Amino acid sequence: MKAIVIREPGGPEVLSLQEVAEPSLGAGQITLQVGATALNRADLLQRRGLYPPPKGESPLLGLECAGVVVAHGPGASGPPVGTRVMALLPGGGYAERVVVPERLALPIPDELGFEQAAAIPEAFLTAQEALFTLGRLEAGQTVLVHAAAGGVGSAAVQLAHAHGARVVATAGSREKLERVRSLGADTLVDYQTEDFAEAVSQVTEGQGADVVLDFVGGAYFERHMRCLAVGGRLVVIGLLGGVSADLNLAQLLMRRTQILGLVMRSRSVADKVAISQTFARNWLPRFASGALAPVVDSVFPLADAQGAHERMERNANIGKIVLRVSGSSAERLSD
């Protein structure tokens, strides 16, 4: 089959479409013919040799996909061959075929194509875990969502808004913020020119945010500790702004702050199944009605994974960058 291979650690130019061996189908697994996959920030790190796949998993890039079931491994009983499904993957999505534990497969609503469905698993399941499992966000509470025009951020804004929370969203340009407003954000902060901690203080009348979705880490830590409400939860999901910070334990203790780390890729299959099934129950039906929608920034053919990586490295995307795998010679749809 054809897949994107990392010729050597490096920039986007090291990605090339090559012939590779078919993935081997194990017990309880299904093979998917991949219709589309989507980029994640982790792919950029893996390409540079800085984020190796979990032991025993595919060395190929690709943490999510949408496709059709084409084969069952020993003991796997469903979903039937021909079913359209989407799934989180530990790797292997930048390829014509991938294997996945059958219990991780989520049905794709009829209303969505593969390119939309491929934009759902990583963004929405991560946002769900961060907001509700770790953040314990409740209706009427305030959440600060950084990188709100990114893949995970654009999903988090929609889920938090749908849950009845007040959303303060940051992004790096007016164009991005306008899109974020249309997803349900109540307060917009251009972090290049405005202070998000001040904005949170204003809208909460000095109380602070109940939950912060932190993709930035070190560079924002001190401000986060200041702008969290008493009993607030800081959910650390990404480290785009550095890994180190000074923690004032007295402040943590007095304000009963909770700092929670989140990682998806290295979780057990059982954890991922539980997360996927919660999503299927609570949120998936709302994609059929259009109340929730994956935000697709652009679609590149698989053969142009390089162009897709370059776009993400420029922080140019609003929502998810998708790779079309079936019929991968097709032209890019938008820029």
Ligand X SMILES: NC(=O)c1ccc[n+]([C@@H]2O[C@H](COP(=O)([O-])OP(=O)(O)OC[C@H]3O[C@@H](n4cnc5c(N)ncnc54)[C@H](OP(=O)(O)O)[C@@H]3O)[C@@H](O)[C@H]2O)c1
Please report, as ranges, the residues that interact with ligand X according to CB under 6 A: 40-42, 122, 126, 147, 149-153, 171-173, 176, 215-216, 237-238, 240-241, 262-264, 312, 315, 317
CB of 175 to ligand X, least distance (A): 9
Separation of alpha carbons 278 and 193, rounded Å: 38
Instruction: Decide whether 22 or 271 has the Cβ nearer to ligand X.
Output: 271
Separation of alpha carbons 141 and 115, rounded Å: 33
CB of 296 to ligand X, least distance (A): 12
Instruction: Decide whether 68 or 264 has the Cβ nearer to ligand X.
Output: 264
Instruction: Decide whether 73 or 172 has the Cβ nearer to ligand X.
Output: 172
Instruction: Decide whether 263 or 280 has the Cβ nearer to ligand X.
Output: 263
Are 79 and 85 within 8 A, CB to CB? yes
Instruction: Decide whether 114 or 124 has the Cβ nearer to ligand X.
Output: 124
CB of 261 to ligand X, least distance (A): 8
Separation of alpha carbons 51 and 33, rounded Å: 26
CB of 255 to ligand X, least distance (A): 24
Instruction: Decide whether 29 or 317 has the Cβ nearer to ligand X.
Output: 317
Separation of alpha carbons 125 and 283, rounded Å: 10
CB of 44 to ligand X, least distance (A): 8
Are 215 and 240 within 8 A, CB to CB? yes
CB of 275 to ligand X, least distance (A): 11
Are 99 and 125 within 8 A, CB to CB? no
Quote the tokens at residue 69: 């079931």
